[in-house]
Amino acid sequence: MNKILKYFVAFFSLIIIFLGTEVTYLSFQNKHKEEKNIFVKSIGLPDLSISTEVRYIRHRSLSDIFSIFNEDPVSFSHYLTTFVYAPSNVVNITPNTIKVH
């Protein structure tokens, strides 16, 4: 084996060893399956507790059915796009386009 091949083999096996250790270490970690199931069973509500400011995202499937459509799809709470593109201001104005002749 020449030098560069030795370096390469050493480097590559280092990656593999590290990957292997990582995977074994992580897969022996307790996933708390039982606790989580007991918890969900005693609460009975779905979803993860993220985005708690908006009630139709927390337990979204059980929340009221229309409020999720009240806002424009680009609005902040469930879409990330608002920092580049703001929701239209028309969204909160009841449209009044019917004109009486």
Partner 1 sequence: MKQLFNLFLFEYALSSLKRRGAKNIFILIIFFILIFLLSCVFFISNSIKYELNLTLKSLPDIVMQKLQAGRVQNLNIDRISKIANIPGVSEVTPRVWGYYYFKNAGVNFSVVGVSRFSPNYKKSIQKIVNKFDKKIFDKSDTMIVGDGVKKTLEKNYYNKYFDFIEPNGGFKKVYIAGTFKGATSLESNDIILLSNKNARKIFGMKNNEATDITLRVPNPKEVAKIASKLELMYPDSRMITKNDLKISYNNIFDYKSGIFLAMFIIVLFTFFIIIYDKASGLSSDEKREIGVQKAVGWKIGDVILQKFYEASIISVVSFFLAIMFAIFYVYILDAPLIRDIFTGYSILKPAFKLPFIVDFQTIILIFFATVPLYLAATIIPSWVAATLEADEVIR
* Residue 49 DSSP class: S
Tell me: does residue 92 bind partner 1 (CB under 8 A): no
Among positions 49-78, residues that touch partner 1 (CB under 8 A) are: 49-55, 57-66, 76-78
CA dist 1 to 12, 16, 39, Å?
15, 20, 58
CA dist 89 to 11, 31, 33, 75, 84, Å?
56, 45, 45, 11, 15
Q: How far is the CB of 48 from partner 1 (least distance, A)?
A: 5
SS3 content of the chain, % helix, strand, coil (to 5): 45, 0, 55
Considering beta carbons, is residue 64 or 96 the nearer one to partner 1? Answer: 64
Tell me: does residue 2 bind partner 1 (CB under 8 A): yes
Tell me: does residue 34 bind partner 1 (CB under 8 A): yes
Tell me: does residue 40 bind partner 1 (CB under 8 A): yes
Tell me: does residue 47 bind partner 1 (CB under 8 A): yes
Structure tokens at 63: 């929340």
Instruction: List contacts with partner 1 (CB under 8 A).
Output: 1-2, 4-5, 8, 11-12, 15-16, 18-19, 22-23, 26-27, 29-55, 57-66, 76-81
